Chain A
């Protein structure tokens, strides 16, 4: 039985031992990428989180509370979202609108406290669907990490949009 000495057959030459060709080939790829992105500006990656990719109109992300055309809060604390939430993530405390804030609310009832616990939320979108006033939408972008559990509880101030607009309706 003949023995084939494979290690001798494939013995590396001097240049191969120094990884001359491999480094060269790798450098070619690097230089190619450098030329493509640095000189021609054709990068495929982005600098997240400073830059974000455009997301779908129907993407369910962070919650936002909307205002109407007259910049009044759309939410009237009807508890429909809290009731429909399968993860029990929403907490609302309703109160009567004080007279000095009457111009900010269309009805006489408003949400004094409106909290969403992002650690409980499963982003199912049922709150959006349940809202009879078009006040809550999951269109606030991608949830960010945080360094404390309390920071995952979003309050009304975090979610309420500054500027109002027309009713969004169903997102398609």
Chain B
């Protein structure tokens, strides 16, 4: 730690950081566009200009010179420094809010806004836009620019991404993000001078004409202006309507921290968490957007052979089936929380004690059978798309040792209970149909539907085919903990209000047992 003087106040800061980060630690925020803690420093936007200097030292005695009132004489550098590119040094003097620094920032803002259209009303970024914020806080209200603004048409640059060149302030963040974080050097600055635009160039023959990475949402997110917009959330809402809470993403076992965006009891998207320094700066598109699918096609009725009915009629029938079955297989469950898994495990041991042969196998897909639980698909997302596989591994929910055996096993059991495996968003990929999943194909092939009871959060092709489908609460509706692939436990909070009377998976299974006993007596 070194001592520096910020606006006449002495503070202790970390000498390994640059000025922006160091000043942030002591509560002084320096406006910036191009700087990002996770990206290479380029100093392109020039907004983080601060005055720096040092105390005047007598060349002979090597002592700090003092003025008449005893304060050290400070020599400020004649040119302003970009705080992002200036390391902290001992005894440094920094003026962040001096008149000169303010004037410099206002001047830079005027330049940034020269070609920027005044279209905040139609811009999806409005409300979370750094340019908008800084224009209000550090910019001047007017502009002296009288010429025509540069005009480029809007371009579709990615499968889920469009670029509005007019809004771009050329901060270079997207290019650095693609190059340094995603590892695909496919965005670049094209043309020169005021005609410079961000362009996409495929890295090799295998990449298509459009950007198709899993981080197009992150590109729109790190863009400090509304130049990048995601098409699947385009014009759907305004950001200030979202109810934002801090929770975790259930898209894979990485369990990233996220900010949830809820409007009208519907999840629209996830955004990176509020305190990214301690958690994660980026989230992938799979987690960010497919959560919107969550609020669609919820299963809110008890189904018997695909037809809705009363729980009082359907539950005893299912319980009767369960009571008569001597061999029961429970499939899936890795989307359930730790508490649920523990409760179901108790339930299973109870069934086993009452001389039932109960097998619980949570592995349903190839990556799981191949034990690739800790493998990453890219720099963030896991190959295993289930949030709680680690917990089920620890809970020994692996009754069938080999993959080959389990297909036969399923054909020979009397009853199959599927825990959430056919609920669309748990596949967590908006493009992926439930019909094309491995488990669905297996069930079709062996015709297992007649003895299958689905515990499901969502309606799908499977809920119509199964013997019975029981609706349950899902992750955004309850407070629960999940186990990350490395064993860390993370907590999610309820952000949606569940439909009245909806039970959790373990409660539904417990009610089956109760009903079965009733039926027996």
Bound: A83/B119 CA distance, A:
18
A contact residues, total (Cβ < 8 Å): 14
| Chain A neighbourhood of B122, CB < 8 A | 76-78, 107-109
Interface string of B102-135 (1 = CB under 8 A from A): 0000000000000000011110000000000000
Whether A94 contacts B121 by the Cβ 8 Å rule is no
Q: Which residue of B119, B235, B241 contacts A95 across the interface (Cβ within 8 Å)?
A: B235
Is B234's CB within 8 Å of the partner chain A? Answer: yes
Whether B154 contacts A94 by the Cβ 8 Å rule is no
Query: Are A78 and B121 also in contact (CB < 8 A) when A83-B238, A96-B234, A109-B235 are?
Result: yes
Shortest B346–chain A CB gap in Å is 48
Shortest A154–chain B CB gap in Å is 22
Is A79's CB within 8 Å of the partner chain B? Answer: yes
| Consensus secondary structure, chain A interface | loop
Bound: A79/B237 CA distance, A:
9
Q: Which residue of A94, A107, A108 contacts B236 across the interface (Cβ within 8 Å)?
A: A94
Bound: A83/B154 CA distance, A:
27
Whether B235 contacts A96 by the Cβ 8 Å rule is yes
Residues of B5-38 whose CB lies within 8 A of A: none
Chain A, residue nearest B153 (CB): A108
Is A80's CB within 8 Å of the partner chain B? Answer: yes
| Chain A neighbourhood of B154, CB < 8 A | 108
| Chain B neighbourhood of A79, CB < 8 A | 238
Bound: A41/B235 CA distance, A:
58
Interface string of B269-312 (1 = CB under 8 A from A): 00000000000000000000000000000000000000000000
Is A132's CB within 8 Å of the partner chain B? Answer: yes
Shortest A92–chain B CB gap in Å is 10
| Chain A neighbourhood of B121, CB < 8 A | 76, 78, 80, 132-133
Bound: A41/B114 CA distance, A:
64
| Chain B neighbourhood of A109, CB < 8 A | 122, 235
Interface string of A112-143 (1 = CB under 8 A from B): 00000000000000000000110000000000
| Chain A neighbourhood of B119, CB < 8 A | 107
Chain B, residue nearest A131 (CB): B121
The CB with the most chain A CB atoms within 10 A, among B119, B120, B240, is that of B119
| Chain A neighbourhood of B240, CB < 8 A | 83
Bound: A109/B236 CA distance, A:
11
| Chain A neighbourhood of B234, CB < 8 A | 96
Chain A, residue nearest B126 (CB): A78
Interface string of A82-110 (1 = CB under 8 A from B): 01000000000011100000000001110
Bound: A133/B118 CA distance, A:
11
Bound: A79/B124 CA distance, A:
11
| Chain B neighbourhood of A107, CB < 8 A | 119, 122
Chain B, residue nearest A133 (CB): B121
Chain B, residue nearest A132 (CB): B121
The CB with the most chain A CB atoms within 10 A, among B120, B122, B234, B238, is that of B122
Shortest B399–chain A CB gap in Å is 50
Chain B, residue nearest A79 (CB): B238
Shortest A93–chain B CB gap in Å is 9
Bound: A133/B236 CA distance, A:
20
Bound: A78/B119 CA distance, A:
10
Chain A, residue nearest B117 (CB): A107
| Chain A neighbourhood of B241, CB < 8 A | 83
| Chain B neighbourhood of A78, CB < 8 A | 120-122, 238
Residues of B229-243 whose CB lies within 8 A of A: 234-236, 238, 240-241
Bound: A79/B122 CA distance, A:
9
Chain A, residue nearest B119 (CB): A107
Bound: A24/B241 CA distance, A:
72
Bound: A95/B121 CA distance, A:
13
| Chain B neighbourhood of A80, CB < 8 A | 121
Residues of A35-90 whose CB lies within 8 A of B: 76-80, 83
Chain A, residue nearest B231 (CB): A96
Interface string of B122-151 (1 = CB under 8 A from A): 100000000000000000000000000000
Shortest A21–chain B CB gap in Å is 73
Shortest B146–chain A CB gap in Å is 20
Interface string of B35-73 (1 = CB under 8 A from A): 000000000000000000000000000000000000000
Bound: A77/B120 CA distance, A:
11
Bound: A96/B236 CA distance, A:
10
9 example contacts (A-B, Cβ-Cβ < 8 A) are as follows A76-B122, A77-B235, A80-B121, A83-B241, A94-B235, A95-B235, A96-B235, A107-B119, A132-B120
Interface of B toward A, CB cutoff 8 Å: 119-122, 154, 234-236, 238, 240-241
Apart from A78-B122, A79-B238, A132-B121: 17 A-B pairs, beta carbons within 8 A: A76-B121, A76-B122, A77-B122, A78-B120, A78-B121, A78-B238, A80-B121, A83-B238, A94-B236, A96-B234, A96-B235, A107-B119, A107-B122, A108-B154, A109-B122, A109-B235, A133-B121
Q: When A and B form their complex, which 4 residue pairs have the shortest distance between CB atoms, in order from nearest?
A: A78-B121, A94-B235, A109-B122, A107-B122
